[in-house]
Amino acid sequence: MPTESEAGWPRNYAATVDIALRPLAQLILERRRQRPFMVGLSGPQGSGKSTACEVLSDLLRGHGLRVASLSIDDLYLTHAERQILARDVHPLLATRGPPGTHDRALGMSVLAALRAGESLALPRFDKSTDDRTPEADWPWFEGPADVVLFEGWCVGARPAPMADLATPLNALERNEDPTGVWRAYVNTALAADQTLFAQLDALIQILPPDFEVVVGWRREQEAKLRAARPGAPGLMDDAQVARFVAHFERVTRRLLEEGPARADAVLRLDAERRPLSFSVRQPAPPPSTL
């Protein structure tokens, strides 16, 4: 019989649990040397990061650990704050998601509080309204945390050399950012975001077969949101999703190329999100004292 937690997991998810998430929970248990152990979970839009975090949280709680979960999506600037950026810097900054549209100070304060063993309300963002959830509605986490799971599409991403930004990558960059102001701002913000990612003790990466499947995955994700909140103003149709994903393409492609060599563990998926492999990078041995 499945446990209460397992009964709530998605159907046909057993292979992902057995191939990757149970071994990942065991890896966290083995490598945890302090409280809390902060784990970043990176993967492109629609790759199943949120579900993986929920299941991984259940597995770790089954070992008696207190687990706090936070998404980088929960750190988006408010709608009003992004409108100011769009007016003062570049119109594309009205769109949530890329580096530069997150509240880095909020993220640092939340992770610092969790690192200090505090209890606190964890921020949340409502994508159906494209705005931050009122603070009174944020869920309360009772500390101290043993493990912190911090997931997001660009968690662990690194900025590109500025010279790489010169040539537009897609129609969005070519038509709406011809002078490169927006992509330079995003890249500079990502460089500053390294202070946030430096708080992590381990990085796990979910890899799709290629970038092209991401649009389809994101469309599926948005369709679920539309079904749950019909008529909500912040939701997108398929054409809007394709344009939305173009905002993320440059950073995502770079992370898919160079991230696996740095990640502590990598879960590779096929186009149907079925697990192909799970690999763990062994930590470097301590330097010799001889």
- Residue 279 lies inside a defined structural domain of this protein: no
Domain for residue 280, yes or no? no
pLDDT at res. 6: 58
Instruction: Give the domain range for residue 86.
Output: 4-273
Size (the chain), residues: 290
Residue 137: CATH number of its domain: 3.40.50.300
Indicate if the alpha-carbon torsion angle 227, 229, 230, 234 is positive or negative.
negative
Examine residue 284 and state whether it is found in any structural domain, yes or no: no
Residue 32 pLDDT? 87
Question: How many domains in the chain?
Answer: 1
Query: Do residues 121 and 133 touch, judged by C-beta distance below 8 A?
Result: no
What is the reported pLDDT for 223? 79
Given this model, what pLDDT does residue 219 score? 86
Separation of alpha carbons 270 and 249, rounded Å: 19
User: Which residue type sits at 48?
Assistant: G
Q: How far apart are CA 119 and CA 188, in angstroms?
A: 32
Q: Is residue 10 part of a domain?
A: yes
pLDDT at 5: 53
In a domain, 283, yes or no: no
- The predicted structure's pLDDT at residue 230: 75
Q: Tokens at residue 54, please? A: 């929920």
Q: Give Cβ neighbours of residue 2 (< 8 Å, ≥ 6 apart).
A: none
Q: In this structure, is residue 204 part of a structural domain?
A: yes
Token couple for 23: 């071994």
How many alpha carbons lie under 13 Å from residue 238 in its C-beta half-sphere?
A: 3
Question: Amino acid identity, residue 255?
Answer: L
Determine the pLDDT at residue 2. 43
Burial of 211 (0-12, 13-18, 19+ CB in 10 A): middle
Please check whether residue 281 lies inside any domain of the structure: no
Q: What is the pLDDT of residue 85?
A: 97
pLDDT reported for residue 4: 43
Measured between alpha carbons, how far is 138 from 273 in angstroms, rounded to an integer?
A: 30
User: In whole numbers, what is the pLDDT of the chain averaged over residues?
Assistant: 90
Residues of the chain with pLDDT under 50: 1-2, 4, 290
